[in-house]
């Protein structure tokens, strides 16, 4: 029982990440009709916002100690982050909270990245065939990740969660089960809540603002909205920016779970497409539902009891589910007819 | 390539193609690509892309799982070597047939959907195959290490014909000619030419026309009395057989089959080759395959030493600057160049490299015709068709 | 034409069946008693085949740095590094056999096909007599097979699977790095000392050949101590988030978690295991322990503070205080500004060992070089007295057991050496792992 | 003899009754027009003939064979061709290719792996295709891409695509909608020529000029029901029809 509850938590946590990435991707599909293979790269850029913030915060004052030598004969460097040198404990706290702090930085940065990307490149590909959209965004993804690699190297870079969120939370006790049975890392619970928050924010933005209404109308029927004299293109630029922010935030918050490296975007790319398609092209609720569904199913498939029956099921479960769903429901869980079927 | 070609033009194209291919060891030496392994790869991936183009270029169905057929072809060929004979012909037949069978299964399932749903189905099925090949199916695939030959393999046909390879590991040979090095390349080249010829026949045939009709308007096709499914399935299986053949050739020139050949990145590579060269054109995918393989093998090998030599003619400080700038794009940075190339090509040449060639050709034609003062009308046939939205 | 691709013996046999005519042109071009890529000018070419893209790109870059350093030292440039401490004095700093060493590089992408393509380019186009490098066992075995067929020597880089010098060993291939069998043998006593005999282990294993092999050896040696193995769960390569495999450990009753992961899988699974509180947990009245059988300092950096107190084994570490290690760290550090990784160390040694063997043999002919390497005993390369065993072309030397350092002084200082397990304890009979070396192939 | 007979066909969309007990007999070799106000169910009815929709109840017999349950391509292979309201053509192919494809479909059936012989070698097919393009006045444009045609030309092309199949029954959904008066007259002439060759036609049309120039029999559909069926002269005077057309000022 405890094991099952734990796997549900794992699934929700994983699903939160899947849903956030897929949400941005499907917004771009739905509104702009663009197949964005650079979406994984946006997730990766978000994660590297955290890396950059941490290294900026941790910018070190280097003092050479001539009395001690390194193994290769140069004086030992004594490094203290400036921020600690200047602000003392507050500085240490800032470093400790670098991941949450990164969120504040990542929002404007990712928005800007998204806007530049849309204005500079994606815009010119609205009317182009999907194959060309794939090629150009894939090219962009490679370029972005190579730039990151040349700056930060290929190795994963650890991004610890703040000390306060490093511990475990006795989730079982909170919901009235026996204490100690279901304990779960605080940061992962935070990630799950955070993903709900972002999903909620995106939905209410689209649901309750006039801007959102226009965008939703644009998703449903772009030409008509254009005929109404609304400058839909400009709004779509913002929409792309928002999608980039959502992907970026997913990336920032994920860094304590997965040490970021330049290649992580590609690893999530295929998965996020599967999530979006299982959810149904252009359906925002579909993307969210599919994200959590696949997360939970993947968690359960990894249980020893399940693997004992079908060896290797955890390797293929995501794809198996995708195939089954697409065969049973032609347009995914909540897809609309005619979107991306050509 | 215009569609309304005469038989003479087709033969000229085939002969030109064959001559260039057979002379490739000499033609490509100046650019550093004239060595057997890369030449073999050009031919093998050329075949792979040719086949993929029959599906994607003609019908517009974008498969993201074609590497699975390549991988299956390789495994089939290596198993044929192990169990029956080192003769490449037998191995290729088996590889093609198995590739075809596998694509019947995947195609039958995937083609129930179209558009991106089709793409994701192929991707999912291929990734499942890859993950299984890497782990659970290790008894058949030898997992990460890859399926290799062993001295102790039964090779029952070879044994029956009294063939003994002694204490060394056998390599595949066609009646005594070993399939590595240049003989291997010429073997691949001959098959490549045959595949090109077949592909050309398909392009010009009623069947090829129906496949283009699939891409253009499936509704009209149905109301015209044509059953779309068998056409798409046939195209899928033909391209799967091409992929199986290419996989078989990989095993023939180098008897090892690894699971990574089936990964989605490998499927993506053939998509990129085809679009880069020009989907739906006869030659484009071949050129695209060549460009990508060239980058992978030659650009990645440039290190600072090579660059320093290359810019040796410059004064020292300029040389240093050039070396440090260009080293971002070669050696370990070759991916960057490839990514940038994808972007540049698709931004400026939507129809891929073939559109570039066609533009140059019509530009030359215009310059030649300037005296007649007749403004050149854009030739509708030469236009690269924009796929339907 | 393909001077190196036809093995003479195979050719004679096959032509006997097929008739002589067809293959004749290729015979004519091959020189009578030559071998593949026999250097004729004033230089000899080495091929450095390392991952430059993908997850192991940094490890590959470090290998390349070490190779460049080795080439400098062999050619008599720089401070000589470990040449000065190396027990064999055959190399005199004027290249090898009077020829200056030059090198070519290539990208393995950590994929067998790409690695073979790259190695073939070096052999067919650039005329390399020796290929070395790599950062995974699948790649090493693939390239080793290729080098055997082509008739050049392969000096394996970072490859830890038993198969490289076991089931898939080849006469033309040599490995300096240790393997999973030695890791298990070396870790066993330390685990006993630290954690006692009464432990219940839970394995998470990367689901491919290296992972299985590592799991097998740890199981074997820990069960000899009296440990129980509660479960051994296979995880997909590159799973990213391992939470679904870690939570079942929490209430399983196991008190040791063995992570048979390498590279990014190791970084992620270890980070997450610590996140789930396993390092600080108490089970069965004992402190829960995590073991990472194969450590890499570069990767440990990726896991950050999560490695603190975690045990594992490694081939070499820059903090070693023997003369060879000190010379190498000094030489490398002066040139690049940071200490070398174990990948850099093993590849540097391999380049030096090849050059030395060729010098002693007086030829680059694979069979000649191989004979000089077989049974060669040496010292001064950072691992103490070492032997290239003739039976399987595997180096036997002491193995380091390390643990994540509690108070690192710099970002490179993440591991501390706990124990140097002597060679005698990790040695095993060559027949244990099976496989056949077969004859040398000189190619051409 | 009736070539197409429709009996008691019903079709509901949700709660909406689109077709209500429709009965229709089309005589072989005649031009039969279906008229009615917008939303009367004309296109729905046509869709039931070609397999795009399946009626809830009722029968559709063509040449004595039921069309229900057949796929669109099977229906076409029995000899039914259709021109759509918005032209369904192969946009990125040449006009000649557009007409060649249905000609091949007629000859080779719904699927044939005819992958070796070049299209250019199919002389007979080409001649037939050229002839049909000439019939609709598009012979000169045979090498242009279909998407470059005007809307009227696209309709004519689609008509040629149907004609080349030598259909037993030709269904036309508003063949002159959006055409200029001159174009409309040309189309009427063309259709009359086709009719003279003995092709049975069912035409949906708003333009009464077209209807009365061509039709030998007219069915009037309103709210999913056939309210009248007769020769044109009598339809003109039918009170129910006038009623259905809101006073029918333009009749």
Contact A149 C333 (CB under 8 A): no
- Written as six digits, the tokens of C225 are 């101590």
Helix runs in C125-263, H state only: 137-150, 180-195, 209-225, 243-250
Asked if A178 and A16 count as a contact pair (C-beta separation under 8 A), the reply is: no
Label residue D104 exposed, middle or buried (CB < 10 Å: 0-12, 13-18, 19+).
buried
- Same domain? For D2 and D74 the reply is yes
pLDDT score of B374 more than 70: no
Contact C113 B303 (CB under 8 A): no
CA distance B375 to B35: 46
Which run of H or of E encompasses C334? helix C323-336
Domain boundary (D133, D166, D199) is at D166
Q: How many domains does chain D have?
A: 2
CA distance B326 to B337: 10
Q: How many domains does chain B have?
A: 1
Return the partners of chain B (3 or more C-beta pairs < 8 Å). Answer: A, C, D
- Written as six digits, the tokens of D70 are 């057949």
Residue C213, classed as helix, strand or coil, is helix
Asked if D200 and D28 count as a contact pair (C-beta separation under 8 A), the reply is: yes
Query: Is the CB of residue C145 less than 8 Å away from at least one CB of chain B?
Result: yes
- Written as six digits, the tokens of C90 are 């055959």
Q: Give me chain B's average pLDDT, please.
A: 87
Quick: pLDDT tens for D182-198: 888 888 888 888 888 88
Nearest C-alpha in C relative to B25? C1
Query: Per DSSP, what are the bridge partners of residue A64?
Result: A77
Quick: pLDDT tens for B93-115: 999 999 999 999 999 999 999 88
Asked if C327 and C83 count as a contact pair (C-beta separation under 8 A), the reply is: no
Nearest C-alpha in C relative to B36? C124
CA distance C153 to C172: 5
Q: Look at the alpha carbons of A322, A325, A331, A334 in this order and tell me if their dihedral is positive or negative.
A: negative
Name the residue among A79, A156, A185 with its Cβ closest to that of C275. A185
Domain boundary (D144, D166, D188) is at D166
Q: Residues C424-431: what's their mean pLDDT?
A: 92
pLDDT score of C280 more than 90: no
Within 13 Å and on the Cβ side, how many CA atoms surround D140?
A: 3
Band of residue B313 on the pLDDT scale cut at 50, 70, 90: confident
Any idea what the CATH number is for the domain that residue B14 is in?
A: 1.10.3470
Q: Between A131 and C309, where is the model more confident? A: C309
How high is the pLDDT of residue A321? Answer: 92
Q: Please count the helices (runs of H) and the strands (runs of E) in chain D.
A: 9, 10
CA distance B116 to A131: 11
Asked if D214 and D17 count as a contact pair (C-beta separation under 8 A), the reply is: no
Contact D113 B206 (CB under 8 A): no
To probe the interface with C, which of B139, B168, B298 has the most C CB atoms within 10 Å? B168
Band of residue C224 on the pLDDT scale cut at 50, 70, 90: very high
Q: Residues C346-374: what's their mean pLDDT?
A: 95
CA distance C88 to A223: 80
Q: Between B97 and D212, where is the model more confident? A: B97
Q: Look at the alpha carbons of C258, C264, C265, C270 in this order and tell me if their dihedral is positive or negative.
A: positive
Query: Is the CB of residue D116 less than 8 Å away from at least one CB of chain B?
Result: yes
How high is the pLDDT of residue B67? Answer: 95
Give how far C344 is from chain A: nearest CA, Å.
Answer: 15
Supply the range of the domain harboring residue B183.
7-263
| Same-fold call for C43-178+318-396 versus C181-314 | yes
Q: Residues D205-234: what's their mean pLDDT?
A: 87
To probe the interface with B, which of A36, A316, A329, A340 has the most B CB atoms within 10 Å? A316
Q: Residues A311-339: what's their mean pLDDT?
A: 84
Q: Which CATH architecture has domain C181-314?
A: 3-Layer(aba) Sandwich (3.40)
| Residues comprising chain D, all counted | 251
User: Cα C185 vs. chain centroid, distance in angstroms?
Assistant: 17
Query: Which residues of chain C make contact with A299, given a CB cutoff of 8 A?
Result: 243-244
Quick: pLDDT tens for D16-49: 888 888 999 999 989 999 988 887 888 888 888 8
Quick: pLDDT tens for B149-170: 887 888 888 888 877 777 667 7
The structure's pTM equals 0.90
Q: Residues C167-186: what's their mean pLDDT?
A: 94
Residue C386, classed as helix, strand or coil, is strand
How high is the pLDDT of residue B371? Answer: 58
Q: Give percent of chain A with pLDDT exceeding 90.
A: 38
CA distance B11 to D5: 54
Asked if C137 and C108 count as a contact pair (C-beta separation under 8 A), the reply is: no
Domain boundary (D129, D145, D166) is at D166
- Written as six digits, the tokens of B243 are 């992929």
Nearest C-alpha in B relative to A124? B347
Within 13 Å and on the Cβ side, how many CA atoms surround D195?
A: 20
Asked if D218 and D238 count as a contact pair (C-beta separation under 8 A), the reply is: no
Asked if B342 and B276 count as a contact pair (C-beta separation under 8 A), the reply is: yes
Task: List Cβ neighbours of B80 (8 Å cut-off, separation of 6 or more).
Answer: B90, B91, B94, B95
Asked if B253 and B259 count as a contact pair (C-beta separation under 8 A), the reply is: no
Query: Per DSSP, what are the bridge partners of residue A78?
Result: A63
Give how far B337 is from chain A: nearest CA, Å.
Answer: 8
Quick: pLDDT tens for C406-418: 888 888 888 999 9
How high is the pLDDT of residue A341? Answer: 60
Q: Residues D96-105: what's their mean pLDDT?
A: 94
Q: Residues A182-196: what's their mean pLDDT?
A: 92
Asked if C106 and C122 count as a contact pair (C-beta separation under 8 A), the reply is: yes
CA distance C58 to C51: 8
Which run of H or of E encompasses A68? strand A60-69
Q: Residues B281-309: what's their mean pLDDT?
A: 87
Give me the residue label for tokens 């359960």.
Answer: A300
Contact B279 A134 (CB under 8 A): no
- Same domain? For D161 and D182 the reply is no
CA distance B146 to B127: 17
- The pairing of strands A75-81 and A60-69 is antiparallel
Nearest C-alpha in B relative to D75? B225
* Contact: chain A with chain B (3+ CB pairs below 8 Å): yes
- Same domain? For D193 and D121 the reply is no
Give how far B178 is from chain C: nearest CA, Å.
Answer: 7
- Written as six digits, the tokens of A24 are 């941005």
3-state SS record for C261-301? CCCHHHHHHHHHHHHCCHHHCEECCEECEEEEEECCHHHHH
pLDDT score of C4 more than 80: no
Task: List Cβ neighbours of D131 (8 Å cut-off, separation of 6 or more).
Answer: none
CA distance B172 to B89: 10
CB atoms within 10 A of CB D5: 17
Q: Residues B194-198: what's their mean pLDDT?
A: 96
CA distance A211 to C323: 71
Within a domain: B148: yes
CA distance B95 to B118: 25
Asked if A163 and A93 count as a contact pair (C-beta separation under 8 A), the reply is: no
Asked if C182 and C351 count as a contact pair (C-beta separation under 8 A), the reply is: no
pLDDT score of A222 more than 50: yes
- Same domain? For D198 and D248 the reply is yes
Task: List Cβ neighbours of A82 (8 Å cut-off, separation of 6 or more).
Answer: A59, A60, A61, A91
Band of residue B387 on the pLDDT scale cut at 50, 70, 90: very low
Name the residue among B124, B272, B389 with its Cβ closest to that of A319. B124
Contact A142 B123 (CB under 8 A): no
Residue C308, classed as helix, strand or coil, is strand
Q: Where are the domains of chain C?
A: 43-178+318-396, 181-314
- Same domain? For D93 and D22 the reply is no
Within a domain: D31: yes
In terms of phi and psi (left: phi > 0; alpha: psi -120 to 50; beta: otherwise), the region of B287 is alpha
Asked if B331 and A137 count as a contact pair (C-beta separation under 8 A), the reply is: no
Supply the range of the domain harboring residue D151.
89-166
Contact A330 B125 (CB under 8 A): no
Q: Provide DSSP, C46-108.
A: EEEEE--SSTTHHHHHHHHHHHHHHHHHHTT-TT-GGGTT-S-----SS-BTTBEEEEEEEE-
Q: Give percent of chain A with pLDDT exceeding 70.
A: 96
pLDDT score of A1 more than 80: no
Asked if A273 and A141 count as a contact pair (C-beta separation under 8 A), the reply is: no
pLDDT score of C1 more than 60: no
Q: Residues B124-134: what's their mean pLDDT?
A: 92
User: Rounded to 10 degrees, what is the CA torsion of D59, D61, D64, D66?
Assistant: -70
Within a domain: D84: no
To probe the interface with B, which of A131, A297, A310, A337 has the most B CB atoms within 10 Å? A131
Q: Between B274 and A86, where is the model more confident? A: B274
Residue A284, classed as helix, strand or coil, is helix
ipTM score:
0.88
Per the CATH hierarchy, to which homologous superfamily does domain C43-178+318-396 belong? Response regulator (3.40.50.2300)
Asked if B124 and A323 count as a contact pair (C-beta separation under 8 A), the reply is: yes
CA distance A139 to B343: 5
Name the residue among A72, A167, A314 with its Cβ closest to that of C333. A72
CA distance A218 to A220: 5
How high is the pLDDT of residue A54? Answer: 86
- Same domain? For D102 and D145 the reply is yes
Asked if D218 and D203 count as a contact pair (C-beta separation under 8 A), the reply is: no
Q: Would you tell me which residues 67-96 of chain D have a C-beta closer than 8 angstroms to some C-beta of chain B?
A: 71-73, 76-77, 81-82, 84, 88-94
């Amino acid at each position: 029982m405890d094991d099952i509850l734990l796997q549900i938590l794992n699934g929700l946590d994983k699903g939160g990440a899947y849903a956030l990435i897929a949400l941005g991707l499907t917004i771009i599909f739905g509104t702009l009709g663009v197949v964005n293979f650079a979406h994984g790269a946006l997730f990766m850029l978000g994660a590297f916002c955290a890396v950059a913030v941490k290294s900026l915060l941790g910018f070190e004052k280097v003092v050479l100690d001539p009395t001690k030598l390194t193994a290769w004969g140069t004086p030992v460097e004594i490094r203290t982050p400036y921020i600690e040198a200047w602000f003392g404990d507050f500085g240490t706290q800032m470093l400790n909270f670098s991941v949450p702090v990164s969120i504040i930085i990542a929002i404007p940065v990712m928005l800007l990245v998204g806007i530049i990307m849309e204005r500079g490149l994606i815009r010119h590909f609205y009317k182009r065939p999907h194959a060309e959209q794939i090629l150009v965004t894939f090219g962009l993804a490679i370029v972005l990740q190579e730039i990151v690699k040349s700056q930060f190297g290929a190795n994963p870079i650890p991004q610890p969660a703040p000390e306060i969120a490093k511990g475990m939370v006795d989730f079982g006790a909170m919901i009235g089960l026996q204490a100690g049975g279901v304990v779960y890392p605080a940061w992962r619970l935070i990630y799950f809540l955070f993903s709900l928050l972002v999903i909620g924010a995106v939905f209410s933005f689209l649901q309750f603002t006039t801007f959102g209404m226009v965008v939703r109308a644009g998703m449903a029927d772009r030409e008509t909205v254009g005929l109404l004299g609304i400058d839909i293109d400009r709004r779509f630029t913002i929409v792309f920016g928002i999608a980039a922010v959502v992907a970026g935030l997913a990336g920032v918050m994920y860094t304590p779970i997965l040490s970021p490296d330049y290649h992580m975007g590609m690893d999530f790319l295929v998965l996020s497409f599967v999530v979006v398609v299982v959810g149904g092209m252009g359906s925002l609720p579909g993307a969210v539902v599919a994200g959590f569904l696949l997360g939970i199913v993947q968690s359960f498939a990894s249980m020893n009891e399940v693997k004992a029956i079908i060896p290797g099921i955890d390797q293929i479960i995501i794809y198996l589910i995708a195939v089954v769903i697409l065969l049973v429901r032609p347009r995914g869980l909540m897809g609309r007819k005619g979107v991306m079927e050509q | 390539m215009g569609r309304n070609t005469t038989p003479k033009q087709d033969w000229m194209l085939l002969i030109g193609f064959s001559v260039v291919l057979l002379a490739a060891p000499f033609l490509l030496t100046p650019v550093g690509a004239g060595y057997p392994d890369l030449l073999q790869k050009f031919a093998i991936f050329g075949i792979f892309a040719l086949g993929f183009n029959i599906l994607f270029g003609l019908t517009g169905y974008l498969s993201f799982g074609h590497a699975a057929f390549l991988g299956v072809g390789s495994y089939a060929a290596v198993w044929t070597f192990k169990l029956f004979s080192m003769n490449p012909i037998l191995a290729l037949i088996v590889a093609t047939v198995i590739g075809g069978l596998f694509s019947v299964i995947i195609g039958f399932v995937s083609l129930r959907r179209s558009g991106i749903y089709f793409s994701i189905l192929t991707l999912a099925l291929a990734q499942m195959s890859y993950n299984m090949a890497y782990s659970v199916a290790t008894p058949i695939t030898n997992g990460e290490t890859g399926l290799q030959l062993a001295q102790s393999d039964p090779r029952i046909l070879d044994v029956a014909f009294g063939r003994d390879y002694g204490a060394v590991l056998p390599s595949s040979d066609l009646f005594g000619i070993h399939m590595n090095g240049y003989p291997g390349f010429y073997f691949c080249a001959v098959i490549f030419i045959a595949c090109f010829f077949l592909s050309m026949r398909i392009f010009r045939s009623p069947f090829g026309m129906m496949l283009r009709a699939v891409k253009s308007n499936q509704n009209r096709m149905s109301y015209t009395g044509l059953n779309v499914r068998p056409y798409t399935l046939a195209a899928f299986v033909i391209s799967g057989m091409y992929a199986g053949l290419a996989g078989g050739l990989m095993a023939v020139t180098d008897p090892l089959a690894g699971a990574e050949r089936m990964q989605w990145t490998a499927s993506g590579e053939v998509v990129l080759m085809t679009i880069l060269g020009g989907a739906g054109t006869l030659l484009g995918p071949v050129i695209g395959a060549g460009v990508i393989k060239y980058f992978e093998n030659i650009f990645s090998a440039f290190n600072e030493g090579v660059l320093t030599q290359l810019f040796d003619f410059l004064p020292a400080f300029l040389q240093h600057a050039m070396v440090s700038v260009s080293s971002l794009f070669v050696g370990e940075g070759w991916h960057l160049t490839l990514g940038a190339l994808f972007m540049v090509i698709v931004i400026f040449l939507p129809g891929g490299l073939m559109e570039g060639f066609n533009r140059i050709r019509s530009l030359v034609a215009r310059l030649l015709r300037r005296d007649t003062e007749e403004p050149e009308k854009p030739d509708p046939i030469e236009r690269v068709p924009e796929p339907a939205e | 034409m393909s001077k190196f691709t036809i093995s003479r013996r195979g050719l004679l046999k096959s032509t006997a069946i097929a008739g002589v005519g067809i293959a004749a042109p290729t015979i004519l071009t091959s020189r009578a008693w030559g071998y593949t890529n026999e250097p004729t000018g004033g230089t000899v070419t080495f091929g450095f085949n390392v991952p430059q893209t993908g997850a192991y790109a940094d490890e590959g870059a470090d290998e390349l740095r070490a190779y460049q350093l080795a080439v400098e030292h062999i050619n008599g440039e720089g401070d000589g590094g470990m040449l000065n401490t190396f027990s064999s004095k055959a190399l005199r700093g004027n290249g090898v056999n009077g020829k200056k060493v030059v090198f070519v590089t290539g990208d393995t992408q950590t994929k067998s096909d790409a690695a073979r393509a790259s190695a073939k380019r070096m052999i067919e186009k650039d005329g390399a007599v020796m290929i070395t490098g790599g950062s995974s066992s699948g790649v090493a075995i693939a390239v080793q097979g290729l080098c055997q067929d082509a008739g050049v020597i392969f000096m394996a880089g970072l490859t830890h699977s038993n198969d490289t010098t076991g089931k898939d060993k080849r006469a033309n291939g040599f490995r300096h790095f240790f393997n999973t069998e030695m890791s298990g043998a070396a870790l066993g006593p330390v685990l006993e000392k630290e954690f006692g005999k009464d432990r219940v282990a839970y394995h998470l294993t990367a689901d491919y050949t290296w992972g299985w092999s590592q799991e097998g050896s740890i199981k074997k040696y820990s069960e000899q101590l009296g440990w129980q193995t509660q479960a051994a769960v296979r995880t997909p390569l590159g799973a990213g988030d391992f939470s679904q495999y870690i939570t079942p450990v929490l209430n399983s009753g196991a008190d040791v978690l063995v992570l048979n992961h390498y590279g990014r899988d190791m970084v992620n699974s270890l980070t997450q295991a610590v996140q789930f509180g396993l390092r600080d947990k108490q089970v069965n009245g004992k402190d829960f322990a995590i073991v990472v059988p194969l450590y890499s300092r570069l990767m440990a950096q990726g896991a950050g503070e999560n490695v603190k107190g975690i045990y594992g084994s490694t081939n070499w570490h820059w903090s070693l205080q023997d003369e060879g290690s000190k010379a190498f760290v000094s030489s490398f550090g002066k040139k690049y500004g940071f200490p070398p990784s174990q990948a850099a160390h093993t590849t540097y040694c391999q380049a030096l060992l090849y050059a030395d063997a060729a010098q002693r043999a007086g030829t680059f002919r694979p069979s000649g070089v191989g004979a000089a390497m077989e049974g060669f005993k040496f010292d001064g390369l950072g691992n103490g007295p070492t032997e290239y065993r003739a039976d399987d072309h595997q180096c036997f030397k002491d193995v380091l057991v390390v643990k994540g350092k509690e108070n690192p002084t710099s970002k490179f200082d993440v591991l501390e050496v706990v124990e140097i397990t002597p060679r005698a304890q990790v040695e095993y009979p060559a027949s244990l792992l099976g496989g056949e070396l077969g004859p040398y192939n000189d190619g051409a | 003899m009736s070539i197409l007979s429709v009996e008691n066909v019903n079709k509901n969309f949700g709660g909406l009754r689109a077709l209500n007990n429709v009965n229709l007999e089309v005589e072989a070799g005649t031009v039969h027009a279906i008229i009615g106000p917008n939303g009367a169910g004309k296109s729905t009815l046509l869709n039931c003939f070609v397999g795009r929709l399946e009626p809830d109840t009722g029968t559709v017999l063509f040449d004595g064979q039921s069309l229900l349950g057949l796929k669109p391509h099977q229906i076409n292979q029995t000899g039914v061709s259709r021109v759509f309201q918005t032209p369904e053509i192969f946009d990125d192919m040449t006009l000649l290719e557009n007409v060649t494809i249905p000609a091949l479909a007629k000859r080779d059936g719904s699927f044939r792996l005819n992958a070796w012989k070049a299209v250019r070698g199919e002389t007979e097919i080409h001649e037939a295709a050229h002839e049909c393009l000439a019939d609709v006045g598009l012979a000169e444009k045979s090498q242009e891409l279909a998407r470059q045609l005007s809307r009227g030309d696209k309709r004519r092309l689609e008509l040629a695509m149907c004609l080349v199949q030598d259909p037993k029954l030709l269904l036309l959904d508003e063949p002159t909608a959006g055409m200029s008066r001159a174009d409309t007259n040309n189309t009427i002439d063309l259709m009359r020529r086709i009719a003279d060759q003995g092709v049975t036609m069912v035409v949906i049309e708003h333009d009464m000029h077209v209807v009365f120039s061509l039709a030998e029999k007219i069915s009037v559909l309103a709210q999913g029901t056939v309210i009248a069926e007769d020769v044109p002269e009598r339809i003109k005077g039918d009170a129910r029809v006038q009623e259905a057309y809101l006073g029918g000022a333009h009749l």
